[in-house]
Amino acid sequence: MCGEEGYRRVELMSKGTLALLIHGGTDNWSPERWKARFDDVCRDRPVRLLADASLDPAEVAYAAVWKPKPGELAAFSKLRAIFNLGAGVDALMADRSLPNVPLVRVAVPDLTGRMTEYVVLHVLMHHRQEPYLRQSQREKRWAPKFQWAAGAVSVGIMGLGTLGADAAQVLQRIGFKVAGWSRSARQLEGIECFHGSAGLEAFLRRTDILVCLLPLTDQTRGILDRDVFTRLNRTSPLGAPVLINAGRGGLQNEADILACLDDGTLGSASLDVFTQEPLPPDSPFWSHPKVVLTPHNAADTDPDAISRYVADQIARFEAGGALENVVNFTRGY
């Protein structure tokens, strides 16, 4: 990717060093494994790890980051661009000392497909009464319950970017009545689209299963609260509305979710994200009978696809092209 093509275009811009600032913990976020992948796709570009004692910050042109510590990027005085290795950039944007260079979000088809898998799986699990069926199996009870068809259920998706639009299309193909809501007006073929605060009320009123894929911004922080939950439709065959949040933990008011599950305002919830991650062992979400919990793995980043994406962007950029998916700091994502 950065190979021969990069050599030919070296006159346009020098081949900058790529530094990896990766904090994580799980296997998927081993800095050494990421370095091996980037070495593979940037064979003639220096790729350095933050932990490398001989790393001179002034030689670094690009930073590829995962959960960098606040202030950590300020040391790199010659940065040309920052690549975030996931879709959400809220934490990075909160770093006031972030160098004033383009911040690039990941947007690869692989990530979109994975999120659609998660959304379709969890919508179907609630729709098809999976928690009840697992309980029946544990109790050895052959007890089929009335099962409505997908056409009897309205799914509402908050956030109609690449991820929301793809999930909406697949859910509609399966037979659900699908609508979407976004900050600004969007049009999606065959999907009823609402937007802005003016459109929120009507969107919520027709929604049985609420799927949240919003970016976390000043406008969306804590948007999933009792006020929203009480306005969801209460006459679906599901009995009570369902919440699925695969966006960001900061979008949800967790005390409200727990209270609304307990008083029946919500019937159940699938949560992939939390305000504190890893979720503390004493969180009531773990053992709540109405919660289906996943450890922020709805749309894992595929290291191979992401490293190729970053390498391609850098090569194009050094050849005089524009960076894609650059974060708009005014909009907030």
Asked about 296 being catalytic, the answer comes back as yes
* Cβ proximity to a second copy, 142 vs 184, nearer residue: 142
Using CB under 8 A as the binding rule, whether residue 264 contacts a second copy is answered as: no
Using CB under 8 A as the binding rule, whether residue 136 contacts a second copy is answered as: yes
Pairing status of strand 177-182 against strand 192-195 = parallel
Quick count: other Cβ atoms within 10 Å of Cβ 28?
Answer: 14
Using CB under 8 A as the binding rule, whether residue 128 contacts a second copy is answered as: yes
CB of residue 175 to a second copy, shortest distance in Å: 5
User: Which stretches does DSSP call E strand in 54-208?
Assistant: 60-66, 81-84, 103-104, 154-158, 177-182, 192-195
Instruction: Give the range of 145-153, 186-194, 242-250, 252-260 binding a second copy by CB under 8 A.
Output: 145-153
Using CB under 8 A as the binding rule, whether residue 162 contacts a second copy is answered as: no
In the sheet with 103-104, reading across from the earlier edge strand, the strands are: 47-49, 17-22, 60-66, 81-84, 103-104
Using CB under 8 A as the binding rule, whether residue 27 contacts a second copy is answered as: yes
Distance CA 327, CA 95 (A): 14
Using CB under 8 A as the binding rule, whether residue 88 contacts a second copy is answered as: no
Distance CA 72, CA 123 (A): 39
Quick count: other Cβ atoms within 10 Å of Cβ 259?
Answer: 14
Instruction: Give the range of 47-55, 69-77, 112-120, 238-246 binding a second copy by CB under 8 A.
Output: 112-120
Among 124, 200, 319, 323, binds a second copy (CB under 8 A): 124
Using CB under 8 A as the binding rule, whether residue 155 contacts a second copy is answered as: no
Among 130, 192, 225, 312, binds a second copy (CB under 8 A): 130
Using CB under 8 A as the binding rule, whether residue 23 contacts a second copy is answered as: no
Distance CA 91, CA 45 (A): 28
Using CB under 8 A as the binding rule, whether residue 134 contacts a second copy is answered as: yes
The token pair that represents 183 in the structure block: 């900050």
52 three-state secondary structure: coil
CA 148 remoteness from chain centre: 30
Closest by CA to 39, choosing from 301, 325, 310, is 310
Using CB under 8 A as the binding rule, whether residue 312 contacts a second copy is answered as: no
CB of residue 282 to a second copy, shortest distance in Å: 9
The residues binding a second copy (CB under 8 A) are: 26-28, 110, 113-114, 116-118, 120-121, 124-125, 127-128, 130, 133-134, 136-138, 140, 142-147, 149-151, 170, 173-175, 277-279, 281, 286-287, 292-297, 300, 302
Catalytic residues: 248, 296
